[in-house]
Structure 1
Amino acid sequence: MKELLTDAATRAIHYLETLDTRSVAPAPSAVAALKAFDEPLPEQPGDPADTLRLLDEVGSPATTAMAGRRFYGFVIGGSLPVTLAANWLAGAWDQNTGLYRPTPGTAFLEQVSLRWLLDILQLPATCGGAFVTGATVANLCGLAAARHAVLKRVGWNVEADGLFGAPPITVIIGGEAHPSVSKSLGVLGLGRTRVVKIPVDDQGRMRVDAMPPIHGPTIVCAQAGNVNTGSFDAIDEICRRARPAGAWVHVDGAFGLWAAATKTRAGLCAGMGEADSWATDAHKWLNVPYDCGLAFVRDPHALQAAMAITAEYLPTDSGFRNPADFTPELSRRARGVEVWAALRSLGRAGIADMIERNCDQARRFAAQLTAAGFTILNDVVLNQVLVSFGDAERTKQVIQGVQAEGTCWAGITVWQGRTAMRLSLSSWATTDADVDRSVAAIVRVAAGC
């Protein structure tokens, strides 16, 4: 076992150390070589070292360098070394962190992490929280708590009696709400299209003046960090309208919520603490390994009522917080370990610096690409940059060319009718030199299109 694990660590370290010298996207030949995995299921046990060798020699070259410094797609952070190391150690512990009594170490670390997160994100200290796979499930958790609370106020127990015959719930969302919110609404039986969709402004922000009067059980879904522009809904105004009517305000802040941890961008989060639930990711701007999402709910009892279960064989009476009482899963890995490692290693100042540095790099991208003659479509308020290289066809050609060239990787989007390259700056490892090198590659590719 020791030799195998040492070999795995050596291979993983080599992979990370050589990311900067390879194309960010895998070569076509590496993708074609994946056929080596497609073999008949072995009839007999084989050498584990040979399996690991094949996994590395064939699998590693066929990966996209998302862990590297110049991957700007999908709002993906890398993994801080300490978080990857903590993840490895937690993997060796192999703790099924659902209940405190059998897994006190990892359950306690999760409890500490939750307290620290609420502090740095400037959310109410009494919130309940859930460590889940990502913002999709975090949104689901917040909206499940919302569904419970707004129906409980009108005398309906949705966990016991379901939605058949329940009082109707009005759901209000912005016209550019992230699809993960719609997916969560569908899973919860609230409907993906059975919503009141509010028009947005030229940066994708919900037009609060267009919100209808609120009556009866209502959930309002706001956004902190538009996935294209990085813009924030006016959450303070939304809460002022919603709260007197008894509506629940949920905030999808998959990456934008982290602006609250900074001095320079915290103003974007005005009124954030007045909402009722929030969703974000740790595998984005906290730069922990995939997968790690976070849900926070002002009323922890609402989240617990929506999620908790029990059975005769489960040791739930520990007197401490049982993580599974707040998540859809009972069996789950110890995600709080790497979150704790990131928070403890970086501290308040380190987290703020990491986020502010990425925001400054987004502005650096925008300034240099503008100087090169290209059009920036959004106000760069956070870490998102939308770039047009002309009409839709030419912009697509440039994006494809940049991905194939390999210096960096940026994705494509269509936003308010315009096709654009989308650059997302969210890795701890990205430097200003990486931005300059990437801009030079983009300009070079565009010149040939």
Structure 2
Amino acid sequence: MNELALIADADRRAHAYLADIGKRRVFPDAAALAQLAAFDEAFPQHGHAPADVLRLLDENGSPGTVASNDPRYYGFVIGAVLPAAAAAERLMGAWDQCASTFDNSPVAATLEKIAARWVLDALDLPRESAIGFGTSATACTLVCVAAARRALLARKGWDFDNDGLNGAPPVRVVISEMAHITVKKALRVLGFGMKHVISAPVDEHGRIDPAQLPPLDDMTIFCVQAGEVNTGEFDPFAELIPRAKAAGAWVHVDGAFGLWARASSKRALTDGIDGADSWTTDGHKWLNTPYDGAMAICRDAQALSSAMNSDAVYLTGAHDAQKNVNLEFSRRARGIPIWAALRSLGRSGVQEMVDRHCAQAARIAEGLRAAGFEVVNRVVLNQVLVRAKTDAQTVAIREAAQASGETWFGQTVWQGRPAFRISVSSWRTEDAHVDQLVALLARLLAEHGER
């Protein structure tokens, strides 16, 4: 089979997979999981035909997928990929571009620059900001915090690039008690040491309490949150950020999914957020782009490009070339699917999608309360945090729902007790699907009511 025939076969198999969306189990059953054993073979002495490789991947791999592009999937704020973004990703694969600089790929450099401009417009963040399209909020947080530390040290006259951290003035970090694990991971990888990271107390909703804010100064990186992962709540930016800026601190916003509220009727939740110095957000969450697409956004473009510069004698680039605002030197053009999503949606489409998901979350909460569940959070966004009458029932109902194949959502612990978290973020999810979810959970509550 030649290359074009092989790609055509892959397209045919992908079409068949997409045609089954909404029909297959949301989580694979035991038989499908058992099929994955077919991949457990010794490294072959001689290669297999590409068509055979593809056949094995589809016939044994496709049944073992989690249908995260199914409208009944509510786990981890994972949105189904928008058609325009998926199609762009497919064409990019054929292009096979190394999207480091204009010289590597004029089209990638052009489209990612436009995508960056559109993101700043959609989110109404400072237009002078630079955006690096990275792999994840984790990697992008690492990039932003690294730029922040370097900038704070430079204000004290310290040459971080040449002198490193040995003997450097100390940089403090203040985070929320409810900071996401990826923020903590980035700080740990950068060597801050978790014993030295200061946690700011939060209120009952998981927001930093301004009355208990630890002291900040001009050598502090202060991390706030747009969209707490359980409750969907937002730190009170309008109170916190001016205090931090008055102290000379660098403010970073973890907005992996919540930052997109700024493009919706929920914008008031983000009041004051544009006063920060850096932000991270994902495309592969609420914007419904393919995975491996996130953004490091930095108000001081020079601070970001100086920290991440990777110019070499054989390959230099503009200060905003993606290799100079990101960790990766060789990279795929992650900003192109983001461009495609934004162009296909437009400003009104982004708002409609975010607004619809928030309304559907409220609809789920109302239905579950009526069915006898406890909805723990205020449902200010797209997150619904739920408990049954007892902890044992909560766990049993969540496990039964996952095993049913009719839906999938994840577990969590809130204030020391088990709960489950329903995240509404797929463009495919319609009101009928959320009503089906409520009916399923109501039935499971009745079945497990005496336990």
Query: Matched residues in 2 for 1:194 and 1:422: separation?
Result: 31
Query: Matched residues in 1 for 2:404 and 2:160: separation?
Result: 53
Query: Matched residues in 2 for 1:261 and 1:215: separation?
Result: 32
> Which residue is 1:189 aligned to?
191
Alignment of 1:249-264 (within 5 A): 249-262=251-264, 264=265
Query: Matched residues in 2 for 1:351 and 1:123: separation?
Result: 16
Amino acid at match of 2:300: D
Aligned partner of 1:200 among 194, 197, 202: 202
> Which residue is 2:348 aligned to?
349
1:123 and 2:125 equivalent? yes
1:393 and 2:398 equivalent? no
User: SS of 2:158's equivalent?
Assistant: coil
> Which residue is 2:69 aligned to?
67
1:277 and 2:270 equivalent? no
Alignment of 1:82-161 (within 5 A): 82-161=84-163
> Which residue is 2:41 aligned to?
39
Query: Matched residues in 1 for 2:130 and 2:326: separation?
Result: 11
Are 1:303 and 1:326, in contact at CA under 8 Å, matched by a contact in 2? yes
User: SS of 2:194's equivalent?
Assistant: coil
Are 1:375 and 1:387, in contact at CA under 8 Å, matched by a contact in 2? yes
Amino acid at match of 1:77: G
State the superposition RMSD in angstroms: 1.1
> Which residue is 1:298 aligned to?
299
Are 1:163 and 1:189, in contact at CA under 8 Å, matched by a contact in 2? no
User: SS of 2:196's equivalent?
Assistant: coil
> Which residue is 1:266 aligned to?
267
1:337 and 2:336 equivalent? yes
Q: How many residues align?
A: 446
> Which residue is 1:409 aligned to?
408
Shift of 1:216: 4.0
1:215 and 2:217 equivalent? yes
Shift of 1:267: 0.2
> Which residue is 2:170 aligned to?
168
User: SS of 1:295's equivalent?
Assistant: strand
User: Which digits, 9 at most, give the CA deviation of each residue in 1:345-377, with x for residues without a partner?
Assistant: 110000110111000010010000000011000
Query: Matched residues in 2 for 1:232 and 1:403: separation?
Result: 29
1:425 and 2:427 equivalent? no
> Which residue is 1:445 aligned to?
444
> Which residue is 1:16 aligned to?
18
User: Which digits, 9 at most, give the CA deviation of each residue in 1:95-124, with x for residues without a partner?
Assistant: 111111121110110000000000000100
Amino acid at match of 1:385: V
> Which residue is 1:377 aligned to?
376
> Which residue is 2:242 aligned to?
240
Query: Matched residues in 2 for 1:422 and 1:321: separation?
Result: 38
Are 1:80 and 1:428, in contact at CA under 8 Å, matched by a contact in 2? yes
Are 1:100 and 1:321, in contact at CA under 8 Å, matched by a contact in 2? no
User: Which stretch shows the higher mean deviation, 162-171 or 123-132?
Assistant: 162-171
Aligned partner of 1:80 among 60, 79, 82: 82
Query: Matched residues in 1 for 2:382 and 2:234: separation?
Result: 12
Amino acid at match of 2:427: W
Identity of aligned residues (%): 50
User: Which stretch shows the higher mean deviation, 138-147 or 225-234?
Assistant: 138-147
Are 2:305 and 2:320, in contact at CA under 8 Å, matched by a contact in 1? no
Query: Matched residues in 1 for 2:196 and 2:389: separation?
Result: 37
User: Which digits, 9 at most, give the CA deviation of each residue in 1:65-88, with x for residues without a partner?
Assistant: 011111111111110111111001
Shift of 1:63: 0.6
Shift of 1:209: 1.4
Shift of 1:282: 0.2
> Which residue is 2:309 aligned to?
308
TM-score by length of 2: 0.97
Query: Matched residues in 1 for 2:432 and 2:221: separation?
Result: 44
Shift of 1:55: 0.6
User: SS of 2:22's equivalent?
Assistant: helix
Query: Matched residues in 2 for 1:71 and 1:160: separation?
Result: 49
User: SS of 1:193's equivalent?
Assistant: helix
Can you give the 5+ residue segments of structure 1 that lack an aligned partner in the other structure? none
Shift of 1:212: 2.6
Amino acid at match of 1:362: A
Query: Matched residues in 2 for 1:425 and 1:65: separation?
Result: 15
Runs of 4+ in 1 over 6 A off after TM superposition: none
Are 2:27 and 2:408, in contact at CA under 8 Å, matched by a contact in 1? yes
Distance 1:209 1:98, change over 3 A: same
User: Which stretch shows the higher mean deviation, 370-379 or 210-219?
Assistant: 210-219
